[in-house]
Structure 1
Amino acid sequence: MAWVRATRDSFLWCMSVMYLFAFSSFYVQIPGLLGDNGILPARVIELEEVNSFADFFRGKPTLLRLMPYLGLSTEKGMEFLCLAGIVLSFLCMIVKYFMNSIEYFFLWLLYLSLYQVGQTFFYFQWDILLLEAGFLCILIAPLSINLVIWETARYHHHDNITLFLVKWLLFRLMFASGVVKLTSMCPTWWGLTALDYHFESQCIPTPLSWYAHHLPSWLLHLGVTATFLIEIVIPFLFFAPIKHLRRFAFYSQLLLQIGIILTGNYNFFNLLTITLCVSLLDDDFFQKRKARHSKKKVLWYRVTDWVLTAAAYGYIIYILVKYFGLSFGPDYTTLKTKITFTKSEFTDWLAKVVPYTIIIGAISLGIEVLVSLIRCWQTEKGFFRKLSSSFGVCLMAGVASCMFVISLVPYTVLDVKSNTNLKPEIKSWYRTLDHLHLTSSYGLFRVMTGVGGRPEVIIEGSKDMKTWKEYQFLYKPGNVTERPVFVAPHQPRLDWQMWFAALGNYQHNPWLLTFCYRLLTGQPEVLELIRHNPFSHAPPKYLRAKLYHYHYTSPKQMSVRYSEVDWWARENITEYLPILVENDQGLNEWLLENGIFQPIKAVPSNLLAKLLTQIRQYIGQPDGFTFIMSIFSTGLTINFISKYFA
């Protein structure tokens, strides 16, 4: 088994970049989202005072509870934590010495602190995925201590054990994402027609999604089949003993994620998933080293490799033909697919396979521990070094085992029986640590939305209730002539929540009332989050919202949706939000109950607060994508220069 030193360093570097994207993206949105005059002010969340170290980890652990000791308000505290995260992740990106467990602990703690007060704007799976992967970085990264006469080792024999936890996280993410599409009983997934609607109905599409939407139906149906294959079947190859099979699994996942990146803006999520896929590789991939074996071993290895690889590929083809009905069309220029198993058969299969996946994961972890112990006694010189290295392996094996066992609680949500069979002690451990978000359940695109048309909430303002003008958001569809944009890895969290709001009603999205109130009062911080304010001189007196259904225009001239200039065609469906005025009694009562009118506590301005204000004034309100990429490109340039002149 090859070493994973370059693999570990590559994973940690990529995680530094993910943190950089996340902190940078959120920093430009703090005032309008969670600031004192934002949509959901974080100041209304009551944070208990910290009087001891133990108090910090009771309830919601967030460094914002310490901000009063620094003389900072909640808003300034969030900016301070965000800037600290940007600086620290940037240093981890450009300086290898900073890639150690201490720095990654603080990065995880900083993001957890912001997550705890993020409210509905942080309720996304990629946020909890970043927290779980970020915590694993603490275990994976070396504990670098450099004293005059002693220095800790940069690499350890247990590195492959900690990287296994990343591989297990990747398996849970992909397998669950595929399974929930079928357990949801969504007819579009079962009918393999989900991609007929996905490119049009996703949150923030890219320009390429328009072209993908108009691909032939048979190709889109084949794409759904490939998605099931990549998310449900191929993840089992993550634990394959053959290197080529793991690389095949890596490239398969990479293909899926790149396809999603090109056709949809899912911020840093797909890049984070690719980062997790690095755990499927080893140093031979990065350093192109040839394995040194005797001729007999090379021949034996090659034969075994060929047999197992052929068997794996053959079984995948068998699944495509038997369970997805893969066949040629009448003219042999198309491929037809259809699900040939029933819903009850899939449920029975899932109940059988989930326990086996746990067994496979446990065996794989045991093999990693055994390999690490063998390496300790084969490569280390001196009995003391062998013994100390073995102790480190055993210690990390215990930690990894605990993480593995705890992760079974959210993972077995896929199968009720498997979850019921877990020991009560395991569930108790999970509940005790749940507030730290060390492990979570996943499952993306459970149900396909926008089957009858992409729902969009359009907010309009007026001064006389006769002429209504639309507010245009930064990235979500509004103006039918505007071309979709590439915005990832930036996440415009307001645009995302507007997409979720369109899927329900305003009663289930109460934050929307605060947003409308901020528009009625012309709050500058909130207006920075949208593209066009039609009332630049004075805010409107009246506000309303309508629900539209959007469809991509058609390239076919005979279609009713054909257009040479428009990207979208839309139809007015119904009223979404009744007319609001600033002094509306019901609105004001709701705002009062939720603390929006709560007086902002005056905090004496100190040197740190003034510095944060100057930084905000200097940066201004840049475009999120531009801000992120400027910092990232700077880091890449420094990396290139340092390696070139090294």
Structure 2
Amino acid sequence: MDWLAATESWWGRFALTRGIAAIYLVAFLCAALQFRGLLGSNGMTPIPKFLARSSFRAKPSIFHWHYTDRFFAAVCWAGAAVSAALVLGLGDAVPLWAAMLLWFGLWVAYLSIVNVGQCWYSFGWESLLLEAGFLAVFLGNDETAPPLLVLLLARWLLFRLEFGAGLIKIRGDRCWRDLTCLYYHHETQPMPGPLSWFFHRLPKPLHRVEVLGNHITQLIVPFGLFAPQPVAGIAATIMIVTQLWLVASGNFAWLNWLTIVLACSVLDDTMFAAVLGVTTPADAPTSVPTWFGVLVLGFTALVLVLSWRPALNLFSPHQRMNSTFDPLHLVNAYGAFGSVGKTRYEVVIEGTADTVISPHTEWREYGFKGKPGDPARMPRQWAPYHLRLDWLMWFAALSSSYARPWIGQLLKGLLSNNRDIVKLLGHNPFPDQPPTHVRALLYEYRFTTGKELLGDRAWWHRELIGDYLPPVDADRVRRFVS
């Protein structure tokens, strides 16, 4: 099966496998460090309750067979350990069949987490990691030449990711069509980063150039991925540069980094040699074992069959964004920011130790790790790490319906100083004794001007809109969540 060998993609395969393993490592660490407050038995949306009302067929997960918080933690830490080992080269140190089992095990473990993750795992990059992770099972290791068909499937994934995002924008908000969306986006995106203020303050003509460049990268450049080299490599390089721009301008978990990893797989060894000075090993295999080739052919046929609905979705006037068409997340639809908010709203949670609420009650603000809160605090860089509660708080500010499944449990956890829930926050103003009451306020936030930044030493200016949730004590919140 020599025709299956992409001998010119040795380093592209290397970048893809190591990159996917690195993203898996981040994803498993996110799950291990956050799940107890979000999904644990005493968390905001407990997994045992979810399992009681869902089926294995609809949400395949090993946790349907057995669940405890300790077992979930063990799966997370085992996944992190295997991912780290694959980053360091374990996949090339074991036989090909063993490497495939390691990759398959990671995919099963993360699929099991995503399928019980409920609203906390409803992001497009979860499906993206699962789809890329299943590709990794069939990428092979140092025992075989890179399989051409699987590398082409990686390009197909990258194409759907970029082209789908471009189409959803053109079909969505008018500001993408008149090139004005970035007048607002850097300020209203879910979790701004340390450079977002500066991006927002760029001249408006440059913002229009940004949008135009985005449209070119997402609507025209993706077709170059299937052209001969060096055109395919140039197309991938343009995508890498664009994604690095997005990395610098905000926090989007591992979406941008995994896109970069997929684009690196398009570069051939000539490009890697020119940029990094690395050459293909002299003893690199130039063929694909027959048994492995048969598996690659079967996998390719499966992906082509499953691609029918995602492909139709690209050209549908009712295009779905960040959707999966099967419970295994094997071939998915992608897209982001079909609409852009023009105003930023934030939910601010406060507590008090007063037993009776009055106009003179002293309220103290809870701080989150990533989302805007204290106007004087510079936005932090968190990506590729994903702060799931902070992201859901952004959605909650857009509509209370997003918060309905968990906001009551969050307030209940704060009123009892639930250790696992409080750990999800950046600052607890009641470290020794829980508050008697908590409330949530809705604010309008905007980036300060340059003059305000220098004079007030504040990155944000905020104005109170009103109550998001009125003050509640432990008894009332207990009735609220029952």
Per the alignment, residue 538 of structure 1 pairs with 433
How far residue 105 of structure 1 moved from its aligned partner, in angstroms, is 0.1
- Structure 2 residue identity aligned to 1:405: V
Query: Counterparts of 1:202-213 in structure 2 under 5 Å?
Result: 202-213=189-200
Deviation at 1:468, TM superposition (A): 1.6
Matching of residue 396 in structure 1 with residue 288 in structure 2: no
- Answer yes or no: is the 8 Å Cα contact 2:45–2:405 preserved in 1: no
The whole-number CA distance in structure 1 between the counterparts of 2:391 and 2:168 is 22
Work out the percentage of aligned pairs sharing the same amino acid: 34
Residue 94 (1) aligns with residue 82 (2): no
Partner of 2:239: 253
Corresponding residue for residue 385 of structure 2: 490
Provide the residue aligned with 1:134 in structure 2: 133
Deviation at 1:262, TM superposition (A): 0.8
Match of residue 144, structure 2, among 150, 155, 165? 155
TM-score of the superposed pair, with normalisation by structure 2: 0.88
Q: What is the DSSP-based 3-state SS (H/G/I as helix, E as strand, rest coil) of the residue aligned with 2:297? A: helix
Match of 2:333 in 1: 441
Looking at structure 1, the residues matched to 378 and 130 of structure 2 have their Cα atoms a distance apart, in angstroms, of 34
Match of 2:445 in 1: 550
Counterparts of 1:58 and 1:443, CA distance in 2: 26
Q: Which runs of 5+ in 2 are unaligned?
A: 1-5, 280-284
Matched AA of 1:406: L
Question: How far apart, in 1, do the equivalents of 2:371 and 2:428 lie?
Answer: 15
Q: What is the DSSP-based 3-state SS (H/G/I as helix, E as strand, rest coil) of the residue aligned with 1:435?
A: coil
For residues 168-567 of structure 1, the aligned pairs below 5 Å read 168-184=156-172, 186-241=173-228, 243-287=229-273, 389=290, 393=293, 396-416=296-316, 434-449=326-341, 451=342, 453-462=343-352, 463=354, 464-465=356-357, 466-506=361-401, 509-556=404-451, 563-567=455-459
Give the alignment partner of residue 19 of structure 1, picking from 24, 30, 40.
24
Q: Is the 8 A contact 1:178 1:231 kept in 2?
A: yes
Q: CA–CA distance in 2 between the matches of 1:200 and 1:109?
A: 37
Closer, same or farther: CA 507–442 of 1 in aligned 2, 3 Å: closer
Structure 1 residues 274 and 507: CA distance shift in structure 2, 3 A: closer
Structure with a larger share of its residues in helix = 1
Distance 1:455 1:22, change over 3 A: same
CA shift, 1:588, in A, is 3.1
Q: Match for residue 76 of structure 1?
A: 70
Contact 2:139/2:150 (8 A) holds in 1 = yes
Q: Tell me how far apart the structure 2 counterparts of residues 571 and 29 of structure 1 sit (CA, whole Å).
A: 31
CA contact (8 A) 2:369 2:390 kept: yes
Asked if the contact 1:480/1:569 (under 8 Å) is kept, the reply is yes
- Partner SS state of residue 583, structure 1: helix
Cα deviation 1:377-397 (Å, max 9, x = unaligned): xx77xxxx9xx74x8646533
- Cα 1:516/1:437, change in 2 over 3 Å: same
Residue 82 (structure 2) pairs with residue 39 (structure 1): no
Partners in 1 of 2:243 and 2:399 — Cα distance?
Answer: 28
Decide whether the 8 Å contact of 2:214 with 2:242 is kept in 1: yes
CA shift for structure 1 position 455: 0.6
Distance in 2, Cα, partners of 1:160 & 1:103 = 21
Give 1:281 deviation, angstroms: 1.4
Aligned partners of 2:58 and 2:372: how far apart in 1? 39
Larger Rg: 1
Report the 3-state secondary structure (helix = DSSP H, G, I; strand = E; otherwise coil) of the residue aligned with 1:46. Answer: helix
Structure 1: 5+ residue stretches without partners = 50-55, 68-72, 143-152, 292-375, 420-429, 593-646
TM-score, normalising length: structure 1: 0.66
Q: How large is the RMSD of aligned CA atoms in angstroms? A: 2.7
How many matched pairs? 456
**Residue 290 to residue 532, structure 1, CA distance change in 2 (3 Å):** closer
Q: How does 1:597-608 map to 2 (within 5 A)?
A: none
CA contact (8 A) 1:3 1:282 kept: yes
3-state SS of 1:457 partner: strand
